Chains A and B, each alone.
Chain A
Amino acid sequence: MDHQAPPFFKHGPSPLARFVFFASISLVLMLLDARLNALDSLRQIISVAVAPLQRLAMTPAELLDRTGNFFVTQERLQNENAMLSQRQLVQAAQLQRMQAMQAENEHLRKILSVQQRRGESVVAAEIIYTGRDPFSQKITVDKGSTHKVQAGQPALDDIGVIGQVTQVYPFSSEITLLTDKDQAIPVEIVRNGARAIAFGHGQDGALELPFMAANADIQNGDTLVTSGIDGVYPAGLPVGVVSKIERNATFAKITCTPSAGVNRHKQVLILIGEVRRFRKPELNPAGAGTTGGKTPASRKRRP
């Protein structure tokens, strides 16, 4: 305001002063949040206020969903039931084989005195929101710290890895998808066991394999699985399929399509086994050193 108000019309600080005050707090908050990740407790507090609103906002969609479920035909249910029981039979057989192999594996690992793999327990979570923020690839699910979800835990669907939990609130958590620009996952090519790191590509839902030599042994259609050397993702989970290779520079430009899709299902699984940190290996001093970060991107281990 360019004029001075007479004292009997005083209304506190001018709009400009108020704007500068609030804008500077916001700027400080943004800097603290983006650079130092120092605002976790503040986030928790605000999330407690937002959670009831989120619940309330979810009710219409849930009601619609429920009424939709009510009018499902008998025939469709029977078909689905038959299909599921058939699938269950197939999977039960596979499970038995897997249990036998797991026991054998554990035994062998004991003989080799290699570190035991953690026991994995899962929590099934339902997707509340997909892609609210146009700048990042995140989903919000309905399980949070009250369900033992922790930041850093991997999230899967029935086909493969979809991402990693990056922010936990009491009743919900955010999962950053593999396709996010800042997300990375160590992978292994099933065909020849070559290791690489897959980075998210941003918006077009693809993954990239940088730092692979132009003559690297990789082909279109190669399947990538997690290599498990990061201690975050268990080994052997499908990640993607190589879809495009350009070999005209020092490094090949390799693009992959992720196997799992969040658009297909409402449910995801979060592996709530403890997030394993590496300790200094005692057995082989040539191994990798200690690490601090939670994301696989923060460490580069060379085999």
Chain B
Amino acid sequence: MHYPGAPELLRPASLKFILLTLVSGLLLNLLPWYGLTLSFRPDFVALVLLFWAIHEPRKLGFAAAWIAGLMMDIGDGVILGQHAFAYTLGVYVAIMLHRRIQRFTLWQQASHVLLLLFLLQTTMLIIRLFGGGVFPGPGYFLSCLTGAMLWPALSLLFLLPQRGRPDSDSVYSAGNKGL
């Protein structure tokens, strides 16, 4: 029987797949969102980075988070380093907590992710306030909520290639039946 937090045996994620998800995250972020949809837009890049920081902390480097952050800085037209700093911070906290977060069910994980995304948004807010910006209103934090809601779906999707169909004579196949 599968129970919440059961250590599930997964294949290691391939680097190609990680890169693919990261590029799709960038693409989704760069879609022409505007107005109300923009404030609801979850930060897909942050979600992807957090996911891999939690599930493959050895494969996703800080460098990837930093470069993706710089690309988002250019894409959004903000000061260089804003997203880069926030993403590296988020990845660091996620890597520190990854063993703990992995044990929870998807929705419980989502609540952790909500806090992590909130941390990211707050970091960027503080950076902008130091730069002389004005707080744009509580709607600024809406994207954390939508991001956390997406987490379970995103986890199922991203774990799909690692689950795969085990070999009939693989030692893992027996334990995977109940899933």
Enumerate chain A interface residues (CB-CB to B < 8 A). 11, 15-16, 18-19, 21-23, 25-30, 32-34, 39, 42-43, 46-47, 49-50, 53-54, 56-58, 60-61, 128-136, 138, 140, 167, 169, 174, 181-182, 202-203
Contact = CB atoms under 8 A, between A and B. Distances in A.
Interface string B138-161: 001000000000000000000000
A233 to B, nearest CB: 22
Chain B contact-residue range equals 35 or more
Given A128-B32, A131-B38, A138 B77 contact: yes
Interface string B115-157: 0000000000001100111101100100000000000000000
A135 B75 contact: no
A19 B134 contact: no
5 contacts: A30-B80, A50-B75, A57-B31, A140-B77, A181-B133
Interface stretch (B64-72, B100-108, B162-170, B171-179): B64-72
Given A23-B88, A181-B134, 16 more contacts: A15-B96, A16-B92, A22-B88, A26-B84, A27-B81, A30-B85, A33-B80, A43-B74, A50-B71, A53-B26, A53-B30, A54-B75, A57-B28, A60-B31, A135-B78, A182-B132
B32 A61 contact: yes
A15 B95 contact: yes
Given A15-B95, A133-B78, A202 B134 contact: yes
Interface of B: 23, 26-28, 30-35, 38-39, 57-58, 61-63, 65-66, 69-71, 73-82, 84-85, 88-89, 91-92, 95-96, 127-128, 131-134, 136-137, 140
A22 B76 contact: no
A33 B35 contact: no
A136 B32 CA distance: 17
Q: Which of B62, B70, B81, B82 lies at the interface centre, i.e. has the most chain A CB atoms within 10 A of its CB?
A: B81
Secondary structure at the A interface, as helix, strand, loop or mixed, is helix
Contacts of A32: 80
A47 B75 CA distance: 8
B158 to A, nearest CB: 20
Contacts of A50: 30, 71, 74-75
B118 to A, nearest CB: 15
Given A39-B80, A135-B134, A130 B34 contact: yes
B87 to A, nearest CB: 9
Nearest to A33: B80
A82 to B, nearest CB: 32
A23 B89 contact: yes
Contacts of A26: 66, 69, 81, 84-85, 88
B66 A22 contact: yes
A140 to B, nearest CB: 6
Contact of B32 (A22, A53, A58): A58
A47 B71 CA distance: 8
A268 to B, nearest CB: 15
A28 B95 CA distance: 24
B85 A135 contact: no
A253 to B, nearest CB: 18
Nearest to B131: A34
B74 A47 contact: yes
Nearest to A60: B31
A135 B133 CA distance: 6
Contact of B79 (A23, A30, A130): A30
Given A53-B26, A132-B75, A135-B133, A42 B32 contact: no
B80 A129 contact: no
A63 to B, nearest CB: 12
A136 B124 CA distance: 13
Contacts of A138: 77
Given A30-B85, A60-B31, A174 B77 contact: yes
B3 to A, nearest CB: 30
B80 A135 contact: no
Contact of B27 (A30, A42, A57, A61): A57
B113 to A, nearest CB: 18
